[in-house]
Structure 1
């Protein structure tokens, strides 16, 4: 194993600030999106309950169902995706914080010295695990930050603005205000659905990049470093 792997491992504190900022910003973005999703969920629940309380009529109930059912379905699916995103980001942050413990560095250093003087498949495997544990988050942060700035974040901001513009408050005091909100959602249902669908595509693309493509690429790089 080349000595530059050791040098790269020793240089990781230089990337810690960048990696922490990336994880924290990703968490803030996911929490903000989740808050928007939950607010829509609350508004739809209020509309459904109010339509039952006020008894707005068969035609209005049918129109309301045609509008709210697909939106509600999109919200539930997207809510699951955002929840998963928060769990993954939280787990990444915890694992990364653990990887910075001094004991991890000392274990790595001891294993590296052992491997340097006498190669061992078992020691090699442990070294690869420690390298992946310590270096993957900075690697992922550096690799995906460009795409975040150029593609993901602008798209997320764009569709979140659409949802914010099409969100109303939960105050329904009489049948007149209920009918106004029904008309509003009927008019904006296409924009709301498109925003949720496109947000789902963006977040799924981020999942694909961060949970599959980048780990595979990083694993391939580490494996090739060790086999040379």
Structure 2
């Protein structure tokens, strides 16, 4: 094939690719699909975040309970303190979920910007300008406009395609596992919440001066009554065991949401950038002989 025939074929491929991009841009089918996926992912992320706050509230109630008494000297015991490690993990989990929600909202905003009418008009005008420069044989502008069109196409579809690729991976490998982990964590939170109630530990009025033996007996009786009341309202050890059962689910959700909302979108964007670099290296000068 001679040089002119090869250039003509390249021109036809480039022109067809540009027209397809303009048509897809105005139709907006990819935009609607990717936007719906982000909306669904946001609902899922908010659900997972709500469960985290529920677990955190339960742990906070348990940690706020204390048992006090007096055996000649006042003292207080907080059985909920054994839940400190779990509370720290819940806080980290909540922070990851907040970051995931912020990432999804950013993707939604970017999709809205790149799918706007202004962007579609700009892309269409740039394609028209490129075609006119080729037909008019304005060689200094051909290469510049070619790269301009490619840049606009990349900006127009990069986020959308990355989100769509992410949605396919999510649907195939991640979504069911996320829903199951969230449901299990929610079940643990609700089961623990039914075990506890806000302890109504009312401070008794100061008694009249008593002897040492009477004071000791009163202190032991008061401590036993409070301990018995506490055990009927909560069992910190059982609650700790139940909450620890949710730890693997929390860790899995943290890893999955980091993968789903950060690593995979960045990976797909990098792949699109590499493809764009290949097209960028296809110099517009190679199209010039097509109209010579």
Q: Is the 8 A contact 1:30 1:85 kept in 2?
A: yes
2:81 to 62, 65, 79: 65
Bigger-Rg structure (1/2): 2
**In 2, Cα distance between equivalents of 1:129 and 1:28:** 33
Paired position in structure 2 for 1:218? 272
**Runs (5+) with no aligned partner, structure 1:** none
**Runs (5+) with no aligned partner, structure 2:** 1-10, 70-74, 134-140, 200-229, 283-292
Structure number having the greater helix percentage: 1
Relative to the length of structure 1, the TM-score reads 0.84
Matched, 1:119 2:174: no
**In 1, Cα distance between equivalents of 2:68 and 2:248:** 30
Deviation at 1:16, TM superposition (A): 2.4
**In 2, Cα distance between equivalents of 1:129 and 1:71:** 48
Q: Is the 8 A contact 1:71 1:189 kept in 2?
A: yes
Q: Is the 8 A contact 2:86 2:244 kept in 1?
A: no
Q: Is the 8 A contact 1:30 1:86 kept in 2?
A: yes
Runs of 4+ in 1 over 6 A off after TM superposition: 56-60
**In 2, Cα distance between equivalents of 1:110 and 1:204:** 39
Q: Which moved more, 1:29-38 or 1:186-195?
A: 186-195
Q: Is the 8 A contact 2:158 2:272 kept in 1?
A: yes
**In 2, Cα distance between equivalents of 1:112 and 1:55:** 78
2:58 to 35, 38, 43: 43
**In 2, Cα distance between equivalents of 1:220 and 1:5:** 19
**RMSD value, Cα:** 2.6
Paired position in structure 2 for 1:28? 43
**In 2, Cα distance between equivalents of 1:99 and 1:55:** 62
SS across alignment from 1:166: helix
Deviation at 1:177, TM superposition (A): 4.5
Q: Spell out the pairing of 1:168-183 with structure 2 (5 A cutoff).
A: 168-169=192-193, 172-174=197-199, 175-180=230-235, 182-183=236-237
1:146 to 156, 168, 171: 168
Relative to the length of structure 2, the TM-score reads 0.67
Paired position in structure 2 for 1:164? 186
SS across alignment from 1:172: coil
